[in-house]
Amino acid sequence: MEKPAIEGGTPARREFLKFGNPNIGQEEIDEVVDSLKAGEIAMGRKCLKFEEEFSKYTGAKFAVSLGSCTAALFLSMKAAGIGKGDEVVTTPMTFAATANTIIHAGAKPVFADIDAETWDISPEKIKKKISKKTKAIIPVDYAGLPCDFDEIREIAGQKKLFVIEDAAHAAGAEYKNKKIGSLSDMTCFSFYAVKNLAMGEGGAVTTDNEKWAKKISTLRMHGMDKPAWDRYSSAGYRPYRIVEAGYKANMTDLQAAIGLPQLKKLDLLNSQREKLAKIYEKELDIDGVILQKRKSDRKQVWHFFPILIETEKLRKTRNEFITAMQKENIGVSLHYTALHLEPFYRKTFGYMKNSFPNAEFVSSSVISLPLYPKMAEEDAESVCSAVKKLVEYYKK
Ligand SMILES: *Cc1c(COP(=O)(O)O)cnc(C)c1O
């Protein structure tokens, strides 16, 4: 049996494979240089162009460009009038921003467990968490797998709740042939450095509701009723008015300059991700590893590739397995420790172990494998060899 590198064997690959790596080409560089030369480095034409292109791409009537998905989530809740005394139902299997922003808005995050097979929030579990105070549901398309939107929208319709989707992992994904961004009341995207569409930092909200789009546009820039680039146009000087106690949450043209060519390539980049994901699915369908369940009615875009290590069959813990993978020269990550188990959420809301068994099972055994368009198929093969070697070697 082949020895793991951590036991003195040869690593699965010679060079370290990074966990994430943005796909920046000459097009992005040229666009940024163009903005720099024009002196257009704050919010301006390119942000507006990105909004136009992104709303076209997603099929939503409006796209509002922002500084981050965190801002997108927060301002969506503000636009929907969610605040003190309200509850928002979301998944514990997500990044902190999803629930933190509910708290920023003044509301209370209420977790509902995930589905045991897709690892997305379970519609059945959502139903059980709805109270008189519930105002919205925030589903998260975990690892780029769209949630059960028919069921979620039906629940929201019956109970008069908003669906504010966290699609930070899901730019370009589809549910029943509709693009993510066109399904929920508001959909929040992240364009952070390692996301499927990367700008370094950035975010957006898409919606069909003009009132919300306008409100978010005003709130992102101090509550000014007119943006700066409008004030000095040839139409003459038109001073702005402060109509809200707004925030500073806009995108800049430098970010949009990276985002515009990224958006053009998004489908291609996602298809490269899919090719790698298929290698993982084929090679890692082995005893000791559990894969996320695919759904044939939706298109997944794999922001990363999560697998569960069946540690009860192995002589290693999940964290030891991660260390052993790193010694094989493979950058791995963990998405996520279930949020209700993080110190702040335990302390503030009194969450304990065994509150959400499915999320806790995933949380205790999940490892994210690297998956990004710059990876070669041989890179994915080497990741599979490493996983197989470790599972075989450490089997009880
Ligand atoms: C990355 C991420 C966010 C936050 O995105 P930012 O653009 O960094 O604010 C929110 N939710 C999920 C699920 C994420 O993965």
* Dist CA 254 CA 197 (whole Å): 15
* Dist CA 128 CA 112 (whole Å): 8
Q: What is the pLDDT of residue 234?
A: 67
Residues 82, 215: contact at Cβ < 8 Å? no
- Shortest-distance atom of ligand 1 to CA 140: 13
pTM of structure: 0.97
Q: Which residues contact 236 (CB under 8 A, 6 or more apart)?
A: none
Q: Which residues contact 118 (CB under 8 A, 6 or more apart)?
A: 142, 145, 148, 292, 293, 295
Q: What is the pLDDT of residue 237?
A: 76
pLDDT 10s digits, 248-307:
999 999 999 999 999 999 999 999 999 999 999 999 999 999 999 989 999 999 999 999
Q: What is the pLDDT of residue 228?
A: 66
35 ligand 1 Cβ < 6 A:
no
Whole-number Å distance, alpha carbon 234 to ligand 1 midpoint, is: 39
Coil, strand or helix at 102: helix
* Dist CA 204 CA 162 (whole Å): 18
Q: How many CB atoms lie within 10 A of CB 181?
A: 28
95 ligand 1 Cβ < 6 A:
yes
* Dist CA 155 CA 146 (whole Å): 17
Q: Which residue owns the Cα nearest ligand 1 atom 10?
A: 97
198 ligand 1 Cβ < 6 A:
no
- Shortest-distance atom of ligand 1 to CA 142: 13
* Dist CA 253 CA 177 (whole Å): 31
138 ligand 1 Cβ < 6 A:
no
94 ligand 1 Cβ < 6 A:
yes
**Pairing state of beta strands 178-179 and 174-175?**
antiparallel
Which of 77, 95, 142 has most ligand 1 atoms within 8 Å of its beta carbon, as the pocket-test mutant? 95
Q: What is the pLDDT of residue 230?
A: 63
Catalytic-role residue among 135, 195, 299, 389: 195
Among candidate residues 395, 174, 369, the one with its CA nearest the CA of residue 280: 369
Whole-number Å distance, alpha carbon 377 to ligand 1 midpoint, is: 27
Residues 57, 178: contact at Cβ < 8 Å? no
Catalytic (active site) residue 125:
no
Q: Which residues contact 164 (CB under 8 A, 6 or more apart)?
A: 73, 76, 77, 80, 88, 136, 137, 138, 184, 185, 186, 187, 188
pLDDT in tens, the chain (396 residues): 899 999 999 999 999 999 999 999 999 999 999 999 999 999 999 999 999 999 999 999 999 999 999 999 999 999 999 999 999 999 999 999 999 999 999 999 999 999 999 999 999 999 999 999 999 999 999 999 999 999 999 999 999 999 999 999 999 999 999 999 999 999 999 999 999 999 999 999 999 999 999 999 999 999 998 876 665 566 677 788 999 999 999 999 999 999 999 999 999 999 999 999 999 999 999 999 999 998 999 999 999 999 999 999 999 999 999 999 999 999 999 999 999 999 999 999 999 889 999 999 999 999 999 999 999 999 999 999 999 999 999 999
Whole-number Å distance, alpha carbon 209 to ligand 1 midpoint, is: 23
Whole-number Å distance, alpha carbon 168 to ligand 1 midpoint, is: 5
Residues 61, 207: contact at Cβ < 8 Å? yes
Whole-number Å distance, alpha carbon 203 to ligand 1 midpoint, is: 9
Q: Is the peptide bond before 394 cis (omega within 30 degrees of 0)?
A: no
Q: What is the pLDDT of residue 229?
A: 64
Q: What is the pLDDT of residue 41?
A: 96
DSSP characters over 148-207: -HHHHHHHHHHHT-EEEEE-TT-TT-EETTEETTSSSSEEEEE-BTTSSS--BS-EEEEE
